[in-house]
C-alpha cells in the first residue's frame, strides 16, 4: 500500500519513555529498510512539522511512547499536516493513554476492571492520612504514563506516602487500584483481531517486596519469563482472554496493533487492566513474540502489516 512512499518513523521525543521509543523506532527503521522502503528516522521535537515537510514524508510510522506521542498530541499534528499515520487517532489515543477515561469506558461497556479511586494532587495529603480504600497491598499509578512509569504496588501503610509521591511526580492525577494477585496475561490485537497471548512471569529480584511486570522487568533482559503457550490455561480460557482483549480494543476505537494487559485471578476470571495503543517493538517486546509464536509472522512482516494500517482518521 505504501511501497513507493517515503516513510517517516517518529521516535524518541521528550517523554519518560524516550529510550524505549528509540529502541522501538530503530527496530522499525531496520525492518522497513529490509523490506525496501524509503525510510527517514525523525526524533520528535519542536521542529518536527518542518522536518516532515522538508523530508516530503508521505506516511508516518508512529513509534513514539508516552506523552506527546501516544496521547493524541502528535496525532493531531499529523491530521493537520494531512499525513497518514499508524495507530489510533486523536480521541482514541488520548483515551487509551488516560487510565481514568479508559476505565470509565471499559466499565460502561461492562468490561471487568479492578475497583479504583482517583486522587487529584490537591487531595494527596488527605488520601495519605486516610490510607488505601482497598486494603493492602494496593496498586498506585499515575493516570497518564506508560511502561509502568511511576507505578508501585504498595505493600502497606508505611510505604503509602512514598508510593503516592512516586505517582504524583509523573502526573496531576493518580489511581489507587485494588491489587488482584494472579497470572499476568497479555494479548496482541491487530486490526480488531487477536494475534495470540503470552503470559509474563517477572522473576523476583533482591529487595523486592512484591514482584510485578514493572519498567525494570519489562526492559531488563533475564528479569522476566515469557510463555506464549501457558501451561494450565485451557483453550477456552485462552479464547476468553482474546475475546475480552478484542472488546477492549474496539471500546476505545484503537487501530493498528495494540497490547491488552489482563490479570487472571485464582478463580480463572480475567480482569482488564489497560490497552497499550502503541506497544513496544524491542528485543524484549511481547507483540512480536506473540505474532511469531502464534501466527508465524516475522518481525519485518509484522512491521509492514502495521504500516499498511496507516491512514488519516478525520477524513480526506
Q: Find the mean pLDDT for residues 143-152.
A: 79
| % of the chain at pLDDT higher than 70 | 95
Query: What's the pLDDT score for residue 3?
Result: 93
3-state secondary structure of 190: strand
Domains and CATH numbers, the chain: 6-87 (3.40.50.20), 96-112+181-305 (3.30.470.20), 116-178 (3.30.1490.20)
Statement: residue 4 has pLDDT above 90: yes
Backbone angles phi, psi at 102, to 5 degrees: -65, -40
* Residue 291 confidence (pLDDT): 97
Q: Which of 29-43, 54-68, 130-144, 218-232 has the lowest mean pLDDT?
A: 218-232
DSSP E strand boundaries for the chain: 6-11, 38-43, 59-62, 116-120, 138-142, 152-154, 173-178, 183-190, 193-202, 224-227, 257-264, 270-276
Q: Per-residue pLDDT tens for 230-254?
A: 999 999 999 999 999 999 999 999 9
158, HSE (Cβ side, Cα atoms, 13 Å): 2
Q: What gap in Å lies between CA 47 and CA 202, rounded to an integer?
A: 39
Strand 270-276's sheet: what is its strand order?
224-227, 193-202, 183-190, 257-264, 270-276
What grid cell was written down for 272?
Answer: 482488564
| pLDDT score recorded for residue 204 | 73
Catalytic residue numbers read: 17, 147, 219, 259, 261, 274, 276, 280
State the residue for C-alpha cell 522502503.
37
Cβ 292 vs Cβ 221: under 8 Å:
no
Q: What is the mean pLDDT of residues 252-258?
A: 97
Strand 138-142 versus strand 152-154 pairing type:
antiparallel
**Over 70: is that where the pLDDT of 273 sits?**
yes
Helix (H) or strand (E) holding 121: none
Give the pTM. Answer: 0.93
181-206 burial code (b ≥16 CB/10 A, e <16) = ebbbbbbbbbeeebbbbbbbebeeee
Q: Is residue 96 within 8 Å of residue 62, measured between CB atoms?
A: no
pLDDT of residue 146: 65
Determine the pLDDT at residue 211: 58
The per-residue pLDDT for 223 is 76
Spatial contact of 111 and 157, defined as CB atoms under 8 Å apart: no
- φ, ψ of residue 180 to 5 degrees: the values are -115, 105
Q: Quick check: 147 pLDDT over 60?
A: no
Give residue 46's pLDDT band: very low, low, confident or very high (50, 70, 90).
Answer: very high
Whether omega for the bond prior to residue 137 falls within 30 degrees of 0, making it cis, is: yes
What mean pLDDT do residues 288-301 have?
96
Question: Among 30-34, 85-89, 201-205, 218-222, which is the least confidently predicted range?
Answer: 218-222
pLDDT, one tens digit per residue, over 187-219 is 999 999 999 999 998 887 777 666 566 656 666
Asked if 170 contacts 16 with a C-beta cutoff of 8 angstroms, the reply is yes
* pLDDT of 220: 72
| 134/147: higher pLDDT | 134
Q: Return the pLDDT at 221.
A: 74
pLDDT attached to residue 175? 95
Amino acid at each position: 500500500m505504501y511501497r513507493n512512499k517515503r516513510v517517516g518513523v517518529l521516535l524518541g521525543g521528550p517523554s519518560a519513555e524516550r529510550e524505549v521509543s528509540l529502541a522501538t523506532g530503530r527496530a522499525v527503521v531496520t525492518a522497513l529498510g529490509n523490506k525496501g522502503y524509503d525510510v527517514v528516522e525523525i526524533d520528535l521535537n519542536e521542529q518536527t512539522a518542518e522536518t516532515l515537510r522538508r523530508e516530503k514524508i508521505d506516511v508516518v510510522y508512529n513509534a513514539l511512547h508516552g506523552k506527546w506521542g501516544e496521547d493524541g498530541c502528535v496525532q493531531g499534528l499529523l491530521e493537520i499536516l494531512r499525513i497518514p499515520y499508524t495507530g489510533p487517532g486523536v480521541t482514541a489515543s488520548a483515551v487509551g493513554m488516560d487510565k481514568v477515561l479508559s476505565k470509565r469506558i471499559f466499565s460502561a461497556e461492562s468490561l471487568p476492571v479492578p475497583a479504583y479511586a482517583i486522587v487529584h494532587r490537591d487531595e494527596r495529603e488527605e488520601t495519605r492520612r486516610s490510607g488505601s480504600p482497598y486494603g493492602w497491598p494496593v496498586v498506585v499509578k499515575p493516570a497518564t504514563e506508560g511502561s509502568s512509569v511511576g507505578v508501585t504496588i504498595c505493600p502497606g501503610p508505611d510505604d503509602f506516602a512514598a508510593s503516592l509521591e512516586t505517582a504524583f511526580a509523573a502526573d496531576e492525577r493518580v489511581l489507587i487500584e485494588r491489587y488482584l494477585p494472579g497470572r499476568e496475561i497479555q494479548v496482541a490485537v491487530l486490526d480488531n483481531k487477536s494475534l495470540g497471548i503470552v503470559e509474563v512471569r517477572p522473576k523476583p529480584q533482591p529487595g523486592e517486596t512484591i514482584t510485578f511486570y514493572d519498567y525494570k522487568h519489562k526492559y531488563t533482559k533475564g528479569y522476566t519469563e515469557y510463555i506464549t503457550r501457558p501451561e494450565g490455561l485451557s483453550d477456552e480460557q485462552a479464547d476468553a482472554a482474546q475475546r475480552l482483549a478484542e472488546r477492549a480494543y474496539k471500546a476505545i476505537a484503537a487501530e493498528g496493533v495494540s497490547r491488552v494487559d489482563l490479570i487472571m485471578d485464582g478463580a480463572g476470571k480475567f480482569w482488564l487492566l489497560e490497552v497499550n495503543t502503541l506497544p513496544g517493538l524491542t528485543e524484549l517486546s511481547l507483540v512480536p513474540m506473540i505474532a511469531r509464536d502464534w501466527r508465524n509472522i516475522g518481525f519485518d512482516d509484522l512491521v509492514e502489516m502495521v504500516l499498511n494500517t496507516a491512514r488519516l482518521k478525520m477524513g480526506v
